[in-house]
Amino acid sequence: MDTATPAVTVALHDGTRVVAESGQVDARRHGELLLPAVDRVLAEAGVKLDAVTEVVVGVGPGPYTGLRVGLVTAATFGSALSVPVHGICTLDALAYAAGQAGVEGPFAVATDARRKEVYWARYEDALTRTGEPAVDRPADIAEQLAGLPVAGAGVVLYPEAFPDARGPEHVAAGAMAALAAGRLAAGEALPPQPLYLRRPDAQVPKNYKVVTPK
């Protein structure tokens, strides 16, 4: 499952293929849409929740509130089912999906970070990220990524900075599950640690007045 972008996406993978998948794009309804999507995917696959043996969650980077919905839900499932929870960088999953769509490296991925910024990373190919994910204004990295195909919602929002636009626009849990299955089979550890990259938009006001009863 992934809620790090406006896409609320869930898939069931049997270790070899995607069995069922759901995806809806709504930046303000992650909490409302995620659990019904899980129910829908399980129903389509004809299995119960207790059949799940591992949980994979997108760890961002992404806006704090939306990202937390997926992370907390994944942790809750892992605890309730006594199964391991694994984390996948959301940009890596998008890059993997871009490779499946025919994008060849080197290329980049850019998603909406709000505040007129993008979360982005460069890739040598669909499986190999070069460097760490970052958050920047599109104009500040346009020259750095000049000549590279760029996938993700960032290319739709800022076409002047990323003229060689490629799909997909949003991450899909099916691609994330397939990527995770390959990495787990190779013995790679996938800790579910969030990639926030910056502080949340909502913060406690400075110098607020404390009111206590007399």
Give pLDDT, residue 207: 59
**127-168 per-position pLDDT tens digit:** 999 999 999 999 999 999 999 999 999 999 999 999 999 989
Token pair for 189: 């550890």
**159-202 per-position pLDDT tens digit:** 999 999 998 999 999 999 999 999 999 999 999 999 998 755 44
Per-residue pLDDT at 214 exceeds 70? no
Report how far Cα 56 is from the mean position of its chain's Cα atoms: 11
Q: Measured between alpha carbons, how far is residue 13 from residues 54, 56, 107, 109 in Å?
A: 10, 10, 27, 24
How much is the pTM? 0.91
Per-residue pLDDT at 33 exceeds 60? yes
**57-71 per-position pLDDT tens digit:** 999 999 999 999 999
- CA neighbours closer than 13 Å in the CB half-sphere of residue 78: 17
User: For the residues 197-208, what does the mean pLDDT come to?
Assistant: 57
What's the length of the chain? Answer: 214
Residue corresponding to tokens 């460069």: 122
Please state the φ and ψ torsions of residue 82, each to the nearest 5 degrees: 55, 50
Give pLDDT, residue 113: 95
Token pair for 70: 């997926």
As a whole number of angstroms, the distance between CA 156 and CA 110 comes to 10
Give pLDDT, residue 184: 96
Give pLDDT, residue 202: 45
**78-122 per-position pLDDT tens digit:** 999 999 999 999 999 999 999 999 999 899 999 999 999 999 999
Give pLDDT, residue 124: 97
Give pLDDT, residue 199: 54
